Amino acid sequence: MPTIPDLFAQCSIPYASASSSRVAFVTFGIDNQGAFATPQEIAEAVWTPWEDNMIPRTDSNVVVGPVHVQQGTGSGINSGDGTSIASGTSAANSPPPNVALLVQKQTGLGGHANRGRMYLPWSCDESGLDEAGRVEPTVVSATTDAFNALLADLDTAGVPMCILHTGAGVPARVLSGACEGLVATQRRRLGRG
């Protein structure tokens, strides 16, 4: 479990598909530079950049949101949800939810603790993948561009993305990201029965 210091928060964005009984979550840390007072305000500040950059890349059979926020207060955690939701707008024929695009997050600091990754389920058409799980270069490039635009928009909104560490230390700010050229898998996202 990451440590959430004062003025930082962890955001979890649910992805619910009509074709799956399980909900997938995209989770990341933010620096509350906009000094939003409540988890709900943080959630709505995160939502607009997410909607602008990630919803167009998400399968139209998937409902995204609302953003859940755990806000560090220095003396504990405040939790709350935003109110905004949207369906994806991509006409993709997506692979199963355990097959996701993987974005590697980079900071200006070295070491394993200062790197991160983000799985993006239902964010690629099956035609953009080959039989070995390689992602088409155009999909890699478009996803990388969308992620880096997301970072810029989060920064403008006063909630820049960061890496929340499992131990002590100041969370590292995410400066850029790159989509991997091979899909990533998470077995627990496949439901049984």
Number of domains in the chain: 1
A 10 A CB-CB count for 48 gives 14
Q: How far apart are the first and last CA of the chain?
A: 30
Residue 37 lies in a domain: yes
Residue 122 lies in a domain: yes
Residue 86 lies in a domain: yes
Sign, CA torsion 137/141/144/147: negative
Q: Which domain holds residue 136?
A: 8-189
Q: Give the β-pairing of 86-87 and 172-179.
A: unpaired
- The answer to whether residues 68 and 79 touch, using CB atoms and an 8 Å cutoff, is yes
Residue 87 lies in a domain: yes
Q: Would you say the pTM of this structure is higher than 0.85? A: yes
Residue 53 lies in a domain: yes
Tens-place pLDDT, residues 13-67: 999 998 878 899 999 999 999 899 999 999 999 999 999 999 999 999 999 999 9
- The answer to whether residues 179 and 100 touch, using CB atoms and an 8 Å cutoff, is no
Residue 12 lies in a domain: yes
Residue 110 lies in a domain: yes
Tens-place pLDDT, residues 161-186: 999 876 657 899 999 999 999 999 87
Residue 3 lies in a domain: no
Q: What is the DSSP letter of 180?
A: -
